[in-house]
Amino acid sequence: MMKRNYFFLLVAFLAFIEVAIFWISVDIVDPLPSIIAIIIGILIIYLARMHIDEVIQDERTWKIAEITSLRTLQITWVGLFLFALWIIIEALGEQFRHFNRTIGIFGFRLLAILCGIIVLYVVLSLYYNKKFGA
């Protein structure tokens, strides 16, 4: 039997392994290891979930998950925003006339994605407020 938190640690560990295998697949230019790893990972998670010895979801865990998700979104958003600004500043170089377009475009695309995340958050917030009568 397994505790719920150990299950989540197992999922995180598997995610790191999946990324490593994906990296290797890209290096060797063969998608088969990635496909096999994803299938095996799904099976491991499915089997591990069956062996959790405590309640997987109740009202308290839902509330904890909501707060954790929101804080994770906020921290990740701020971190990626600062990273995107850093990329753009690095692309500018010593003088504004020598803008590294390839790197700079990546930074601006990341900023656009982050703005999209804000829009998605607002749209979903409006939807759920309407759905639950807030």
Task: Please tell me the predicted confidence (pLDDT) of residue 30.
Answer: 86
Which helix (H) or strand (E) segment is 32 a member of? Answer: helix 32-50
Residue 26 predicted with pLDDT over 80: yes
Using 50, 70 and 90 to split pLDDT, how confident is the model at 94?
Answer: low
**Distance of alpha carbon 44 from alpha carbon 80, whole angstroms:** 31
Closest by CA to 47, choosing from 17, 12, 2, 9, is 2
Task: Please tell me the predicted confidence (pLDDT) of residue 97.
Answer: 66
What is the residue extent of each domain of the chain? 1-56, 58-134
Q: What is the pLDDT of residues 44-92, one digit of tens each?
A: 998 988 888 776 667 887 888 889 888 988 999 999 999 998 888 888 8
